[in-house]
Amino acid sequence: MSAPAAVLAGLGSYVPPRTVTNDELSQHLDTNDEWIVQRTGIRQRHWSDPGVATSDLAVEAGHRALKSAGAQAPGDIGMVIVATTTPDQQCPTTSPDVAARLGLGNVAALDLAAGCSGFIYALATASATLMAGYAERVLVIGAETFRPFLNPTDRGTSVIFGDGAGAVVLRRGTIDEPGAVLTVDLGSDGSLRELVGIPGNGSRHRSTDRPPHPDDQYLYMNGKEIFPHAVRRMAQSSSAALENVGWNVDDVDHVVGHQANLRILQALAQLLGVDKQRVVTHLDQVGNTSAASIPLALADAAAKGRFQRHDRLLLTAFGAGLTWGSAALTWPGVTLA
Ligand code: UT7
């Protein structure tokens, strides 16, 4: 009998309708389209309108993933995981609200915060839940609303980050089925936590006597410092995942890396020895959407017919924490809703 595995059964995505081009940003920031395209590969991003929160995007993407998986009735899904860096509020978590609005009943629901690696961490959590027999199907959503966390005067973050949500349904199956998640590799390095984050609102911050500073609410990032860590950690984690599953780099049909910067993806491909045709890029359209980045890239590539059933995919991500993670899976040929 084949070993149990989480199997991809549905996929959905959603980006808010408002598109923000590089030229639009250049109107109020000291930046320009040429710099942004050359240094990041980003041409536009989507930003949510005022009043829209992460749960709103998560519900849209979740609904589409459920439809794609043919799972509509309460009881079909045993757990909802929302991976996000930008939850609706500190407490309560965002996922119970998302589950309720999707009509999933009194399902288990948790938020997972692992920065831009959140989707891979959520994939690992969902796989373990399914294999332990605690659920038959899990809805995993990566969702972010960065716009309200971007300092409008900081060109280092404002040109990079975008809003969106991507979701997958995973069901309990076996490793020989197309769509099986074959392995996950995860890691972290908290000694480099100062490189990227949102300091305001946590207990560390609130427990000090220092009066709050307006910038505390904003995302900060030391992009230059973090860049080489991103390349090295995603390459190491990818190699570990490949070794776990017994694939050579040449066995991989598609590398779906965290969409932070085109130059990071190119450096990663070079380190791994993968030609760039096999690297999925979607950041030109959506920027860096953190925990939503990988499922959004999967949905975009799937919609374009890029993946064939049984294709071998390597997913890899890196983000605040620092955290990183990679997963190897085969493609199931899901129908997008
Ligand atoms: O997603 C989770 C983790 N995050 C990442 O992985 C992000 C990794 N880092 C990056 O993607 C890149 O470091 C950035 C895109 C954030 C920045 O690109 P860079 O090539 O590292 O730029 P830099 O910070 O070294 O700055 C180079 C120059 C500087 O000017 P001088 O000092 O050479 O005159 C900056 O002031 O570019 C300037 N600059 C800009 N110019 C126009 C920085 N940002 C901008 C901008 N527009 N938006």
Residue closest by Cα to atom 3 of ligand 1: 319
Nearest to 4 by CA among 187, 175, 167, 128: 175
- Per-domain residue ranges of the chain: 1-337
The terminus-to-terminus CA distance of the chain in angstroms comes to 33
Range of weakest confidence among 74-88, 113-127, 157-171: 74-88
- Please determine, for residue 75, whether its predicted confidence score (pLDDT) is greater than 90: no
CB count within 10 Å of CB 203 equals 7
CA distance 32 to 315: 31
The pair of structure tokens assigned to 30 is: 């000291």
Using a CB cutoff of 8 Å and minimum separation of 24, what contacts does 125-130 make?
A: 125/81, 126/6, 126/79, 126/81, 126/170, 127/5, 127/6, 127/170, 127/181, 127/184, 129/78, 129/79, 130/4, 130/6, 130/170, 130/171, 130/172
- Please determine, for residue 104, whether its predicted confidence score (pLDDT) is greater than 70: yes
Nearest to 295 by CA among 327, 247, 264: 327
The pair of structure tokens assigned to 222 is: 């030391």
Q: What value does the mean pLDDT take over residues 134-160?
A: 96
pLDDT at 17: 97
Write down the pTM of the prediction. 0.96
Question: Which residues face 330 on adjacent strands?
Answer: 312
The better pLDDT of the pair 58, 206 is held by: 58
DSSP assignment of 217-258 equals GS-EE-HHHHHHHHHHHHHHHHHHHHHHHT--GGG-SEEEE-
Question: Catalytic positions, please?
Answer: 116, 258, 288
* Confidence class for position 72, pLDDT limits 50, 70, 90: low
pLDDT at 241: 98
pLDDT at 71: 80
Residue closest by Cα to atom 36 of ligand 1: 156
Residue listed under structure tokens 């972290």: 188
- Please determine, for residue 209, whether its predicted confidence score (pLDDT) is greater than 90: no
Q: What value does the mean pLDDT take over residues 161-174?
A: 97
* Confidence class for position 195, pLDDT limits 50, 70, 90: very high
Do 337 and 68 form a contact (C-beta atoms < 8 A)?
A: yes
Do 6 and 173 form a contact (C-beta atoms < 8 A)?
A: yes
* Ligand 1 within 6 A of CB of 306: no
Atom number of ligand 1 nearest to Cα 258: 1
pLDDT at 211: 79
Residue closest by Cα to atom 10 of ligand 1: 223
CA distance 185 to 323: 11
Atom number of ligand 1 nearest to Cα 290: 1
* Confidence class for position 333, pLDDT limits 50, 70, 90: confident
Atom number of ligand 1 nearest to Cα 226: 8
The model's pLDDT over 286-301, given as tens digits with 9 standing for 90+, comes to 999 999 999 999 999 9
DSSP state of 147: G
CB count within 10 Å of CB 251 equals 12
Residue listed under structure tokens 């996929």: 11
Query: In angstroms, what is the span from residue 87 Cα to ligand 1's centroid?
Result: 26
pLDDT at 196: 96
* Confidence class for position 1, pLDDT limits 50, 70, 90: confident
In the CATH scheme, what is the code of domain 1-337? 3.40.47.10
Query: In angstroms, what is the span from residue 321 Cα to ligand 1's centroid?
Result: 20
Dihedral sign computed on CA atoms, order 235, 164, 205, 211: positive
Beta strands in the chain (DSSP E): 4-14, 19-21, 44-46, 79-83, 108-112, 137-144, 164-174, 181-188, 196-197, 220-221, 254-257, 312-319, 323-330
Range of weakest confidence among 79-88, 194-203, 263-272, 319-328: 194-203
CA distance 105 to 98: 11
Question: Which residues face 4 on adjacent strands?
Answer: 174
Percent over 90 (pLDDT), the chain:
91
Dihedral sign computed on CA atoms, order 113, 118, 124, 126: positive
DSSP assignment of 9-50 equals EEEEEE--S-EEEHHHHHTTSS--HHHHHHHH---EEE-PPT
CA distance 141 to 120: 11
Q: What value does the mean pLDDT take over residues 63-80?
A: 88
pLDDT at 73: 66
pLDDT at 201: 79
DSSP state of 333: -
